[in-house]
Amino acid sequence: MEPLIPEEASRHRPELNDLALELATASAELTASLPAAVRAPLAGLVRSMNCYYSNLIEGHDTHPIDIERAMRQDFSADPVKRNLQIEAVAHIEVQKWIDEGGLIGHPLEPDTLREIHRRFCDGLPEALLMQKGPDGEEVRIVPGTFREGYAKVGQHVPPSPGAVPRMLAHMHRMYRMQGRIGSVLATACAHHRLVWVHPFTDMNGRVSRMVAHAMLRDTVKSEGLWSASRGLARSVEDYQARLAAADAKRPGGADGRGALSEARLAEFARFFLRSCIDQVSFMSSLMRPADLRGRIIDWAQREEMRGNVIKGSDRVLRAILMEGEVERGAIPDMLGVSDRQARKVTARLLELEALASDSPKAPFRLHFPATLSSAWMPNLFPER
């Protein structure tokens, strides 16, 4: 499985190091530009983004609006759609666990990989745990267990099941040894090598993208504010082709010093890092404070004209965007209305999920629902 990363003397390293530094800088700047009151609800929406795009890569299309319905236990009557909604909920719960500090060890630690796989698969309906084996027989995925049989993915035949634990231990050890810039590059390289090892009977792609998400939180302080999976899904054919190309054997002595091609691994890492940089740039453009505030206030004013929200909604949203949160008792004076009328204004905004609150007496804060994303953050998801 070597090389795990292009070595320092490699002709590929200067460009890859520059891309890694650009990603780390851009991600840190995005995080610093957003107030905490915006970061928290945005991270919740990005979980739906990651879930939607990661599953889309696997051919499972569950729109974020349907994902959010499933989070409220509002499932489709269609059993196929219902199963995909349950799958999406399981995916989001694992990512939420990662985002809230659930990982104790390094994301590539073998025990951590098993725990991510176990948590994801434990939430799946039985129908999604049954897969066709290499000989066409039905094989049940065992949550949190490395595969015990051989596999074939396209033209790639992953290592024998007996080699999987040794290879994962070697990956974990070597990728943890990288410095600040090397660890960013290692995130890209580890994504391919983890897919190449194919440690589980199934769900390897989604687990590998969850691992990449966790590593990016550590290496570039992404805070879950942008989605690598969105970038990969937007160029899914290129993504899959570059994953396959990086499986290639080393053609000669000029291509690194391992058994696999260093040049093909470098090409994949370059693609992965550029996809991430593109997504940071996209989210930065959407989240410019003045532009975001303008889109949200424009939405409130349009909806008021249509009779979908109550007069004063734009002022409530403006105050929350400026201050982060607003106490319930401050709203009547802000709007110059009675307590009862103020409650009508905020009740409608809560119903539309434009606002959120931790309890009936807690302050109001902003919320980013998928149902409003086309108006508030255009092009985040495909239109329904």
Label each residue of the chain as H, E or C.
Answer: CCCCCCCCCCCCHHHHHHHHHHHHHHHHHHHHHCCHHHHHHHHHHHHHHHHHHHHHHCCCCCCHHHHHHHHCCCCCCCHHHHHHHHHHHHHHHHHHHHHCCCCCCCCCCHHHHHHHHHHHHHCCCHHHHEEECCCCCEEECCCCCCCCCCCCECCECCCCHHHHHHHHHHHHHHHCCCCHHHHHHHHHHHHHHHHHHCCCCCCHHHHHHHHHHHHHHHHCCCCCCCCHHHHHHHCHHHHHHHHHHCCCECCCCCCCCCCECHHHHHHHHHHHHHHHHHHHHHHHHHCCHHHHHHHHHHHHHHHHHHCCCCCCHHHHHHHHHHHCEECHHHHHHHHCCCHHHHHHHHHHHHHCCCEECCCCCCCEEECCCHHHHHHHCCCCCCCC
Taking 70 as the pLDDT cut, the residues of the chain under it are 133-134, 384
Q: Which residues are known binding-site members? A: 153-156, 202-209
Residue 384: predicted pLDDT: 65
pLDDT in tens, 339-358: 999 999 999 999 999 999 99
All domains of the chain in start order, with CATH: 12-287 (1.10.3290.10), 289-376 (1.10.10.10)
Residue 134: predicted pLDDT: 65
Which one is catalytic: 172, 198, 213, 367?
198
Residue 219: predicted pLDDT: 95
Catalytic, 198? Answer yes
Q: What is the pTM of this model?
A: 0.92
